[in-house]
DNA sequence: TGTTCATGTAAACATATGTTCAGTATCAGC
DNA sequence: GCTGATACTGAACATATGTTTACATGAACA
């Protein structure tokens, strides 16, 4: 990697703000918005910084077009790597029905996507989302209608909240291996745990771990 | 998933073009650029399509701001399920402490931002996020450590889950006006409701409505 | 037949936004 | 002490872009 010229503190503040704004609002700020954020009253004050950033290779900008400031990939990465990152949105496929035997992440199953913060869910490549039906996990604060974010995995540790497929239907339970059987424990005092004996393990498929819950009120 | 209204061929062409342009150029087109691409000579011709797309829930647009057309997640997915999408996540400021008398959305209070899908939280301009401390709303599935998304508002309806400031501290409760007093009801059997008498209303400030909950597991 | 809706044209109009010019002040380096 | 880079203020100016109003056409529909 070629080394990019150093930035002054002020220039760094400008490009950071542009970067943050793009991530936060989806489009870059105007010159006046930058000025307002940094306390620069003259558009030309900001324009000077932008010229410097372009000259140093950190930024591109199309003349006479609004909101076309674009941090250059390499430059932006170097700058951002040194700073605490806010999260970026990642798109998670929202699945409708989930049935055994079918490829779980097949696109045909996606009913849409949901964008959430990468800080909240972690790596998104193996994630999908489901809408919860029923009250079996009410004690863990997972209610009917909630969206759950699931990391696709075939195994789990004791006590994990998992999505499993039993009898061609997906359910959410806590997972407890107990010798030659598995206990799937609902978090609802009025419901009984499900026990799976070793010889029936083949009928049960762990789909993944619940890593997040979202409820729209 | 709720079904979105059908699009006419022309409307589909418009949103496709917007999506393609964002992907190709990194920012959305202007009304005139859309018109040029589709052979529409009047800006109003394009504006009609944009209004229809917004009405049907496929598009958002900030008034009087250039290049702020943004396909909405659900709509865009139906149209372009295979394309990488940009810009449907919205950043919500995550506030640390919240104290009475201070401007609630002042930037100095933000400890960061959280990106969530606009279809989950709705209009983001008046939203902020808080991290929940304590178990007072456990019965409504809001647990210690959860993030809540709050729509800033000074009034509430009976039964709403609200964030209020009492004694300089923010708490989450259900709101019940009862004649000359207000009952703030925790969703935890072991906790007592808080009653605010009319003469003390000035000490209480409704900050906003809880519109969403996120839990990282 | 009359009405609504989708799809346009055309022409202002208002605002947002980028650009340029003329200065001022500080600081580091030669 | 001069010079260039940085970091601005202030005030036009030009262009880009969104908004609104008035009007037209054709298809769908009751």
Q: What is the pLDDT of residue B84?
A: 26
Reference A118, options B216, B38, B128; nearest CA is B216
Residue-wise pLDDT for A26-45, tens only, equals: 678 888 888 888 888 888 98
Q: What is the pLDDT of residue A174?
A: 92
Q: What domains, with CATH codes, occur in chain A?
A: 9-81 (1.10.10.10), 89-214 (2.10.109.10)
Test B117 with A116 for CB contact under 8 angstroms.
yes
Helix (H) or strand (E) holding B95: strand B89-95
Residues of chain A in contact with residue B212, where contact means CB-CB under 8 angstroms, are 214-217
d(CA B49, CA B61): 13
Percent of chain B with pLDDT over 90: 1
φ and ψ of B214, to 5 deg: -130, 135
- Whether the per-residue pLDDT at A185 is higher than 80: the answer is yes
Question: For chain B, what is the mean pLDDT?
Answer: 73
- Active site includes B2? no
Interface test with B, best of A19, A20, A27, A137 (most B CBs within 10 A): A27
User: Which residues of A have a catalytic role annotated?
Assistant: 136, 173
CA distances from B29 to A19, A63, A104, B17 (A): 20, 15, 36, 9
Tell me the three state secondary structure of residue A157: coil
| Residue A158 near residue A177 (C-beta atoms within 8 A) | yes
Nucleotides of C under 7 A from a protein CB: 6-12, 15-23
pLDDT bucket at A161, cuts 50 / 70 / 90: very high
- Active site includes B152? no
pLDDT bucket at B12, cuts 50 / 70 / 90: confident
Beta-carbon pairs below 8 A across chains A and B:
138
Packed helices A9-25 and A31-38: angle between N→C axes, nearest 10 degrees? 120
The C-alpha torsion from A216 through B4 and B5 to B7, rounded to 10°, is: 130
Nearest-CA distance A217 → chain B (Å): 5
Beta strand segments in A27-168, E = 59-60, 70-71, 89-95, 110-117, 127-131, 147-152, 161-166
Test B1 with A94 for CB contact under 8 angstroms.
yes
d(CA A95, CA A98): 7
pLDDT bucket at A101, cuts 50 / 70 / 90: very low
d(CA B164, CA B157): 13
Beta strand segments in chain A, E = 59-60, 70-71, 89-95, 110-117, 127-131, 147-152, 161-166, 169-178, 181-185, 194-197, 204-216
Question: For chain A, what is the mean pLDDT?
Answer: 73
**Global model pTM greater than 0.95:** no
- Strand D reaches within 7 A of the B31 CB: yes
d(CA B114, CA B123): 15
A196: β partners: A182
Using CB atoms, pick whichever of B70, B117, B211 lies closest to residue A114: B117
Percent of chain A with pLDDT over 90: 2
d(CA A147, CA A214): 5
Residue-wise pLDDT for A124-159, tens only, equals: 556 777 878 788 888 888 888 888 888 877 788 888
Residue-wise pLDDT for B164-181, tens only, equals: 877 767 788 999 888 888
Q: What is the pLDDT of residue B40?
A: 87
Q: For chain A, how big is the Rg over CA atoms in Å?
A: 24
Catalytic: which of B3, B173, B190, B216?
A: B173
Residue nearest to nucleotide C17 (CA to C1'): A66
Interface test with A, best of B26, B71, B91, B163 (most A CBs within 10 A): B91
Mean pLDDT, to the nearest integer, of B112-135? Answer: 68
- Whether the per-residue pLDDT at A117 is higher than 80: the answer is no
Residues of chain B in contact with residue A210, where contact means CB-CB under 8 angstroms, are 217
Using CB atoms, pick whichever of B26, B116, B138 lies closest to residue A115: B116
Q: What is the pLDDT of residue B79?
A: 31
Using CB atoms, pick whichever of B66, B67, B120 lies closest to residue A114: B120
């Amino acid at each position: 990697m070629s080394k990019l010229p150093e930035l002054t503190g002020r220039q760094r503040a400008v490009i950071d703000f542009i970067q943050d704004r793009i991530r936060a609002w989806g489009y870059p700020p105007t010159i006046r918005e930058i000025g307002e954020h940094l306390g620069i009253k003259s558009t030309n004050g900001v324009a000077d910084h932008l010229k410097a950033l372009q000259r140093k290779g950190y930024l591109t900008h199309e003349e006479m077009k609004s909101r076309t400031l674009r941090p250059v990939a390499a430059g932006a990465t170097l700058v951002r790597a040194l700073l605490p990152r806010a999260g970026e949105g990642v798109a998670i496929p929202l699945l409708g029905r989930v049935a055994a035997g079918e490829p779980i992440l097949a696109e045909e199953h996606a009913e849409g996507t949901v964008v959430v913060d990468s800080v909240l869910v972690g790596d998104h490549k193996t994630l999908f989302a489901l809408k919860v039906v029923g009250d079996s996990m009410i004690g863990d604060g997972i209610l009917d209608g909630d969206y759950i974010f699931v990391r696709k995995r075939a195994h789990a540790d004791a006590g994990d909240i998992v999505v499993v497929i039993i009898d061609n239907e997906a359910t959410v339970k806590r997972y407890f291996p107990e010798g030659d059987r598995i206990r799937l424990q609902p978090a609802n005092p009025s419901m009984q745990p499900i026990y799976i004996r070793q010889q029936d393990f083949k009928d049960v498929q762990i789909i993944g771990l619940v890593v997040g819950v979202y409820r729209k009120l």
